Amino acid sequence: MLKYILKRLVLIAITLFLVLTITFTILQILPGSPFKNPKIPKAEMERLEELYGLNDPIYVQYFRYIEDIITDFDFGISFKYRNQKVTDMLFTRIPYTIKIGSLALSFGVVVGIFFGIIAAIKRNTVWDHVCTILAVIGVSIPSFIFAALTQNFFAFKWGIFPSVYSKADISAGITGSDEFYSMILPALSMAIFVIATTMRYTRSELAEVLGSEYILLAKAKGLSDRKVILKHAIRNAMIPVITIVGPMTIMLISGGTVMEKFFGVPGLAQTLISAIQTRDYFLISGIGFTYSAIYVIVILIIDILYGFIDPRIRLAGVKND
C-alpha cells in the first residue's frame, strides 16, 4: 500500500505540473492584455507590463513562473488586487470554500446513503417511490432555486438562520458559533444535489447487491436480514457510491460560485469569476492549481478507502505491484 501511495504522489506531482503548464499556455495565447483598458494611458500600461514582466518572451515568463512556484510556492502578484500575493489570497479565501463545501458534502452523503438504504430495502413501496421522486427533484432543480427558497423561509420569514455569511470576528462581536449558523443555509442548498445523487446510487447498487447469489446464500444459512444488510450488502454497495464522492467534492468546491455570491461568502469561486473578468492571469492560474490539487488528493483518498472497504481491491493492488 505504501508503494502504491508513493507512486500516486509522483503522478499527482506530474499532473499538477501539467495543469500549471497548460493553464499558463492558454492564458498567454489569448489575445489582449490585463492592462488593455481605454482608461489607462499607454505609457502607464507599458509601465505595468514591464513591472509584471509581461514584455519578456513567453518562455522566460514560463520558467520564471515555474521556478517561483517550486522554490517559494509563489504564484505571483495579482493584477487586480495590487500588492497582494496570489498565494496569500488563496490561503485567505480557501478556508471559507472548503468549510461550506465539506459541510454540504458530509451532510449530503450521510443523508443520501440513509434514504438510499431505506429505498433499496423497501423496494416498490411508498417509501421507495417517495425517495425516487425526491431524488429526481433534487437532481433536476438548480441549486440556486433551493438557495432562494431556504433564504426566503429560514432567514427572512422565520429568522432561524442568517441570510448572509458572517465570518468570525471578535472585534465585531461575531463568534465561531455565529459563523457556523451562517454556513448552514449555503451548505444545505448545495447539499440537496449531493443527497439526491447519493440516494440514487445507493438505492440502485444496494438493490442489485441484495439480489446477488452470496446474499441469498447468507440468508439461507440463517443470518438475520439486519446482519446480512449491515455486514455484507451495504459494504459492497458502498464502493460505487464512494466513487462519485470525488467528482461531487470538486463540484461543490469549484461550482459554488452562485452560492458564494448568493450568501456573500468570500471564497475562491467568487474570486475566480472576478479574476476571469479582469484577465488576472496569476490569480486564475493559482485558483486552477488549487482546484486541481484538491481533486487529485480527494481521488487518492478515495482509492485508499477502496482497500479498506473491500480487501480484494487491496490484494489486487499488491499483486499488480
Q: What is the spatial distance between Cα 292 and Cα 225, in angstroms, rounded to a whole number?
A: 43
The one-character DSSP state at 38 is: T
In contact, 53 and 260? CB cutoff 8 Å: no
DSSP reduced 3-state for 80 = coil
Detail the DSSP E strand segments found in the chain: none
Instruction: Specify the pLDDT at position 32.
Output: 67
Q: Which residues 6+ apart lie within 8 Å of 136 measured at CB?
A: 196
Q: Check: CB of residue 199 under 8 Å from CB of residue 119.
A: yes
* 82 CB-near residues (< 8 Å, 6+ apart): none
Helix (H) or strand (E) holding 171: none
Question: What is the rounded CA–CA span in Å between residue 285 and residue 16?
Answer: 11
Q: Where are the domains of the chain?
A: 17-72, 94-320
CA dist 101 and 188 (Å) reads 10
Give me the residues paired with residue 77 across strands.
85
Q: What CATH number does domain 94-320 carry, 3.90.1530.10, 3.20.20.105, 3.30.1280.10, 1.10.3720.10?
A: 1.10.3720.10
Cβ 164 vs Cβ 182: under 8 Å: yes
Beta bridge partners of 169: 174
What residues in the chain have per-residue pLDDT under 70? 1, 32-33, 35-38, 168-176, 254-255, 307-321
Q: What is the Cβ-side half-sphere exposure of residue 84, based on CA atoms within 13 angstroms?
A: 15
The answer to whether 48 touches 42, Cβ cutoff 8 Å, is no
Beta bridge partners of 30: none
Q: What pLDDT sits at residue 115? A: 92
- Confirm if 157 and 134 have CB atoms less than 8 A apart: no
Q: For residue 297, which of 21, 3, 1, 11 has the smallest C-alpha distance?
A: 11
